[in-house]
A and B are shown apart, each in its own frame.
Chain A
Amino acid sequence: MLNEAISFKFKSSNESLRTAMKKVVIDPVTRIEGHAKISIYLDDAGQVTDARFHVTEFRGFEKFCEGRPLWEMPGITARICGICPVSHLLASAKAGDRILSVTVPPAAAKLRRLMNLGQIIQSHALSFFHLSAPDFLLGMDSDPQSRNLFGLIAAEPELARGGIRLRQFGQEVIEILGGRKIHPSWAVPGGVRAPLSEEGRDRIQKRIPEVRTTILKALERFKQLLQDYEKEAQTFGNFPTLFMGLVTDEGWWEYYDGCIRFVDSGGNIIADRLDPTRYQEFIGEAVEPWSYLKFPYYRPLGYLTQSDRSRLDSGIYRVGPLARLNVCTHIGTPLADKELKEFRDLGGATVLSSFFYHYARLIEILASIERIEMLLNDPELFSDRLRANADINQLEGVGVSEAPRGTLFHHYRVDENGLIQKVNLIIATGQNNLAMNRTVAQIARHFIQGSDIPEGMLNRVEAGIRAFDPCLSCSTHAAGQMPLHIQLIGVDGNIINEVWRVQQ
C-alpha cells in the first residue's frame, strides 16, 4: 500500500488539471507542513459537482516499526499520536495478545477498560468544549472574532471551566494507571504492567460526582440549543450511510472488546457478530490518487467509484461516537441510557446527521463516567494477576478497540521470533474519510453558488469537518487543525478567488 501511495503522488499533479471544472481549495496549514485540504469542484454554472478532503502528506510510520520486537509496539505506537496515545496503546497490546494467543487476566482487561474510558472522556471533552462548543453556543454566523473559546468563556465561563475539569479528570484516570508519563507503555501484550492502587481508586472516585454534574449540565445546555440548529443538522453530513462499531454480545455499547456490527441508515442490522480480527473480510481499503489517507469501505457493498458517486448503496460507513450510539441497543448505564433515548427521538431509526457527533460525544462522556464508577466498585480490579505469559503462538494478530474517534485496528505480522514484519493501521479518521468527503460536498452544494466564497460557508465547512474531529497524526503528520486556505479555480485552472484564514 505504501508503494502505491507513493506512486500516486506523481500522478496527482496532472489530476488537478481536470478541465471544465472550477475548484475551490480549502487548505489547512499545520504547524509542521502536514497537509490536508479540501477542494470543491464547480461546474461552468458555478454549481458544486464534487468535494474532496485530501491528505497530501504521508509519513511512513509503518516502516518505522518493521524489525522491532512485538513487545515494544505498544510503547512505540502510543508515541505516534499525542491526541489518543491510549487508543494506540490498547489496540497494539490487543494485537499482541492475539499473537501470544492469550486471554488477558480479567483484572488486566478491566484496567485497560478503565484507561480507555479516561481517554474517551479526555478526548471528547477537548473536542466538544474547546473546538466545537463555540460554534453552537455562540452561533455559526456570529462574529468570527468572538466565535471561539474566548467568546465561550465570556458567555459561558462555567461551561468552559467544566470542559477543562473534564479533560483533567480523564487525564488523571490515565495517569493514575499508567504513571505520570504522557505515553505509558503500561498495557503490554498479555495484560498490563501495574495495578491500580486503592489510593488511586479513591482519587478517581472522589471526583466522579463533580464531573457527572458537569456533563449533565453541558447536555442540558446543548439540548436547549438544538432547535436553533435545524439547518446545520440537515446539512452537516446528513445522509444515509452505514454505521460501524463494536457492540457487546448482547448488542450494547462497547468500547474495548466485543464484536463488530454494521447498521444501515434505517437502523437495520446488516451484519452482526463479526469477528473484528477478521476485518479484511468485511472492510476493504481503497486508495485514491489524490489522497494519502486510504478509503476503507464495507466490502460486501463495494467501493464508490468516480462514475457512481451519487449511488447510495455503497460501502460508505461512519465510525465514532455517532456510529457507536447508532449501532448499540442500549448503553447499559442509567443516565446515559436516558439520554440515548432522547437522542434517538431526534432521528428515525438512526441519527444520520454528522452534526450529532457532538451530541453523541456528550452522551459518551456521561456513559464513560458512569462506567468508571461501576468499574471502581468491582473488587476484581485489585487482583494482582495482571499479565498472561506466553510467547509467539501466531504469526499474525489484529487488535481492535474503540478510540474516541472510532474503531481502531492494529494489524501486525511477525516472524517466528516475534520481530515485526508488517504493520497495517486502520484509523478512525480514515474510516470516516468517505463520509467527510460527502459532508463537505453536501455543505458546499448548500452554500456555494458562483465564484463567491461566503464566510458562513467557510465556517460550516470547517465545522462540518470538525464534527468528525478528524485527527491525522497517526496516518499522516497533519494535525486536525483547520485554518483555511480557499482557492476558487476557474474552468481553465486559474485561481479566480483566494481566501486565507490563518490563525491569529
Chain B
Amino acid sequence: MKTITNNIVKNVVAIGYGSRLCGDDGVGQAVAEAIVAWNLPNVRAIASHQLTPEMVDILVTVDLAIFIDACPTDDSLSVRVYPIELAKSGSTIGHYCEPKMLLAIAQALYGYHPQAWLVTIPALDFSLGDRLSCVAQNGMTEALKELERLIRFDTAA
C-alpha cells in the first residue's frame, strides 16, 4: 500500500551472488541474507549462486537494482560501488551473466532497465567451505553500510 505523499517509495532489489561453498565467493549471498533481515518493505533481497537470465523479469519491476559480488583482491582492500552501464551489444553470455548483461537484456527485451549499482567486496580465499576470510568479512560490514546509503539516498525524495 502506498501512502499518499509526494514521495513514492521506490522498489529496490538487491541481488547478492556467488558460491556459498567456495569461501569468500559466498560473500554476496551473505550480504543479501543480511538485507533480508532488515525487513524493508520496498527492498527485495535475493541470494543466488549466480545470475541467470530470468532475473530480468525481476529487474523490470524495480526502480533500483543493486548487485553484490565478491571480487578477487587487487592491492586495495576496499569495497567499491560502481554504477552499472548496459553491456555493449558485443557481449556474449555464458552459464553465468554479469549484471550489465542482465540490464542490457532487460532493456533489449522489455525496453526498460532500472538504475543499477554494483557493489564489489574484496575476496581472498575461494577454497571449499563457507567461511569468509577477514578481508571478506570486513568488506561485508562496509558493503552493508554502502547498501544502506544507496537505498536511503536513492529512494529518498
A and B touch in the complex (CB under 8 A): yes
CB-contacts of A181-229 with B (<8 A): 182-183
Question: Counting CB contacts under 8 A, is A456 at the interface?
Answer: no
Chain A residues whose C-beta falls within 8 Å of the C-beta of B94 in the assembled complex: 131, 479-482
> Are A161 and B109 in touch, CB under 8 angstroms?
yes
Q: Size range of the interface on B?
A: 35 or more
A62 to chain B, nearest CB (A): 10
**B53 & A481 in contact (Cβ 8 Å cutoff):** no
Minimum CB–CB distance for A35 against chain B, Å: 13
Question: Does B82 lie at the interface of the complex (its beta carbon under 8 Å from any beta carbon of A)?
Answer: no
Do A126 and B95 touch across chains, with their CB atoms under 8 A apart?
Answer: yes
Query: Quick check: is A377 within 8 A (CB to CB) of the other chain?
Result: no
Q: Verify if A504 is at the interface (C-beta below 8 Å from B).
A: yes
B128 CB contact (under 8 Å) in A60, A147, A151, A157: A60
Within 8 A of A (CB), among B84-120: 87-96, 98, 101, 104-105, 108-109
- Which bracket fits the contact residues of A? 35 or more
- Residues on B with C-beta less than 8 A from A479 are 94-96
- Distance in angstroms from B57 CB to nearest chain A CB is 7
In the complex, A145 Cα to B96 Cα: how many Å? Answer: 19
Contact yes or no, A146 B90, CB < 8 A: yes
Interchain CB contact (< 8 A) of B88 among A130, A160, A168, A504? A504
- Residue B21, interface by CB 8 Å: yes
- Within 51-69 of B, Cβ neighbours of A (below 8 Å) are at 52-54, 56-57
Expressed in whole angstroms, the minimum distance between the Cβ of A126 and any Cβ of chain B is 7
Stretch at the interface among A78-86, A100-108, A241-249: A78-86
* Residue of A whose beta carbon sits closest to that of B88: A504
Chain A residues contacting B19 (CB-CB under 8 Å) are 79, 82, 473
Q: Determine whether the beta carbon of B72 is less than 8 Å from that of A61.
A: no
Tell yes or no: A47 within 8 A of B by CB. Answer: no
Are A182 and B48 in touch, CB under 8 angstroms?
Answer: yes
Are B96 and A150 interface neighbours, CB within 8 A? no
Of A60, A79, A151, A480, chain B has the most CB atoms within 10 Å of the CB of A79
Known interface pairs A59-B128, A157-B109; A130-B49 also in contact (CB < 8 Å) = no
Q: Tell me whether B95 and A471 are in contact (CB under 8 A).
A: yes
Q: Are B89 and A146 in contact (CB under 8 A)?
A: yes
Give B97's nearest chain A residue, CB to CB: A130
Pairwise interchain contact B53-A163, C-beta atoms closer than 8 A: yes
Given A61-B128, A82-B19, A164-B53, check contact A130 B93 (CB 8 Å): yes
**Complex contacts, A83 vs chain B, CB 8 Å:** 50, 95
In the assembly, what is the distance between CA of A218 and CA of B22, in Å? Answer: 37
- What 1/0 flags go to A148-166 for Cβ under 8 Å of B? 1111011001001101100
Knowing A151-B89, A164-B54, the reply to whether A182 touches B49 (Cβ < 8 A) is: yes
Interface flags, A463-493, vs B, CB<8A=1, else 0: 0000000010100010111100000000000
List, sorted by A's number, 27 A–B pairs whose CB atoms are closer than 8 Å: A59-B128, A60-B128, A61-B128, A64-B21, A79-B21, A80-B21, A82-B49, A130-B93, A131-B95, A147-B92, A149-B92, A149-B101, A149-B105, A150-B91, A150-B108, A153-B109, A163-B53, A164-B109, A167-B52, A167-B53, A168-B54, A168-B57, A182-B49, A183-B49, A477-B126, A481-B94, A503-B98
Sample of 13 further A-B pairs with CB below 8 A, known A131-B93, A148-B89 = A79-B21, A79-B49, A82-B48, A130-B53, A134-B92, A149-B93, A150-B104, A154-B108, A164-B56, A168-B54, A182-B48, A482-B94, A503-B98
Residues of A that sit less than 8 Å from B by CB: 31-33, 59-61, 63-64, 76, 79-80, 82-83, 85, 126, 130-131, 134, 144-151, 153-154, 157, 160-161, 163-164, 167-168, 171, 182-183, 471, 473, 477, 479-482, 503-504
